[in-house]
Amino acid sequence: MLDEIHQQIKDLTEFDGIDLKVKHGDEILPVIEKSSLFISYDYLLNDDSEFSFNSENFYEKHSEFHDNRTDYQIYFDKVKSICSTRFDTVKQDTFNFKVVSLNKNFREVLKNVYDVSGFKAEQTPAFIEILLYTNKKTNRAPRVFGFLGNANVIYILFYDPFHKIFDATKPKL
């Protein structure tokens, strides 16, 4: 089965001249359930906003559960764990990885790196959220958002240190 999938990908890229990197408006291929995930930073928000990985919050220690570890360190440990596991297993709650729908806040931040307006369903990728931790003492609940592209690539988009994108208790952006 896996050999067949690899052959299909090879055929797709060689004969049709298709690049597996997802580009705006491309049709998104389905996720391969029994294969690992990979990370890409091609659409990473790279500005000085609060949702950027350039934010000082990403390099500070705030977790009550991960002593002496920065969000940066926690993130890379989480990504290592996710990428060494098959997609059908990563979807389970133990990885704090889930597919999410677009809300108003998500769309607003997403506009800075990937415009999905006017796309057909097959062109709109599945968006994901990776929970790093929740710290009830300091109201921090950092999340990392991305989308699933072709060949099980996760395109990391942005970092939400205070869980503002999906927090129903906070004012909307």
Can you say whether the dihedral through the CA atoms of 52, 167, 130, 124 is positive or negative?
A: negative
Q: What is the mean pLDDT of residues 105-132?
A: 85
Q: Residue 76: enclosing H or E segment and its boundaries?
A: helix 71-83
Q: Is residue 118 very low, low, confident or very high in pLDDT (cuts 50, 70, 90)? A: confident
70 with 77: CB under 8 angstroms?
no
The residue with greater pLDDT, 9 or 76, is: 76
pLDDT score for 17? 57
pLDDT score for 171? 47
Q: Is residue 160 very low, low, confident or very high in pLDDT (cuts 50, 70, 90)? A: very high
Determine if the pTM surpasses 0.85: no
Tens digits of residue pLDDT in 140-159: 889 999 999 888 899 999 99
% of the chain at pLDDT higher than 70: 84
Residue 168 Ramachandran class (φ > 0 left, ψ -120 to 50 alpha, else beta): alpha
% of the chain at pLDDT higher than 90: 23
- How does the average pLDDT of the chain come out, rounded? 82
Nearest-angstrom CA–CA distance, 132 and 139: 13
Q: Is residue 14 very low, low, confident or very high in pLDDT (cuts 50, 70, 90)? A: low
pLDDT score for 19? 65
pLDDT score for 129? 93
pLDDT score for 4? 72
Contacts for 21 with CB less than 8 Å, ≥ 6 apart: 40, 42, 149, 150, 153
Of 161, 134, 129, 139, residue with least CA distance to 60: 161
pLDDT score for 157? 95
